[in-house]
C-alpha cells in the first residue's frame, strides 16, 4: 500500500460535519507524518474545496500548478480536519507547492494546543 507524506494531495471520502452520514469523494491534503500511519494506520487530512465556494477566513489558495493534480481552482480549508484509515485514501493526485504547504502547516501548528 502506498505511503503518503505531508503535503500530498489525495482523494478520500471526506465526512461532512453537518451531515455525519454523508461522505463525498474529494481532494484533501495529508498533514500527518508517515510515522503516524506506520504506527496506527491513520492519516490526518485537511479538506480542499473549490475556490468558487464561499470562503472561510483562513482558507489557503492553491496556485494553478499542474503538480497539484487538481482539476479546478481550489483552496485548502485547514480548519476542516479529519482522521482517516489508510485504506480510505483512494489515490494520490499530486502535491502542494512548498509555499502553500508551509502556510497550511503553519495554520495547523498555530491552532494546536501547546500546554
**Mean confidence (pLDDT) of the chain:** 91
Q: Residues 25-34: what's their mean pLDDT? A: 94
Beta partners for residue 8, in sequence order: 95
Look up the pTM and report it: 0.89
Instruction: Write down the domain spans for the chain.
Output: 8-110
The per-residue pLDDT for 53 is 86
The per-residue pLDDT for 15 is 62
What does DSSP assign to residue 55? P
The per-residue pLDDT for 62 is 97
**Contact yes or no for 9/68 (Cβ under 8 A):** yes
Q: Which fold has domain 8-110?
A: SH3 type barrels. (2.30.30)
- The side-by-side arrangement of strands in the sheet containing 60-62 is 60-62, 74-85, 42-50, 23-30, 8-15, 91-95
Amino acid at each position: 500500500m502506498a505511503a503518503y507524506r505531508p503535503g500530498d494531495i489525495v482523494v478520500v471520502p471526506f465526512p461532512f460535519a453537518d451531515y455525519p452520514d454523508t461522505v463525498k469523494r474529494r481532494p484533501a491534503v495529508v498533514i500527518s507524518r508517515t510515522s503516524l500511519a506506520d504506527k496506527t494506520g491513520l492519516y490526518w487530512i485537511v479538506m480542499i474545496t473549490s475556490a468558487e465556494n464561499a470562503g472561510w477566513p483562513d482558507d489557503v489558495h492553491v496556485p494553478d500548478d499542474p503538480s497539484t493534480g487538481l482539476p479546478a481552482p481550489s483552496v485548502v480549508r485547514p480548519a476542516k480536519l479529519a482522521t482517516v484509515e489508510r485504506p480510505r485514501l483512494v489515490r494520490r493526485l499530486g502535491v502542494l507547492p512548498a509555499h502553500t504547504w508551509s502556510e497550511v502547516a503553519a495554520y495547523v501548528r498555530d491552532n494546536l494546543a501547546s500546554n
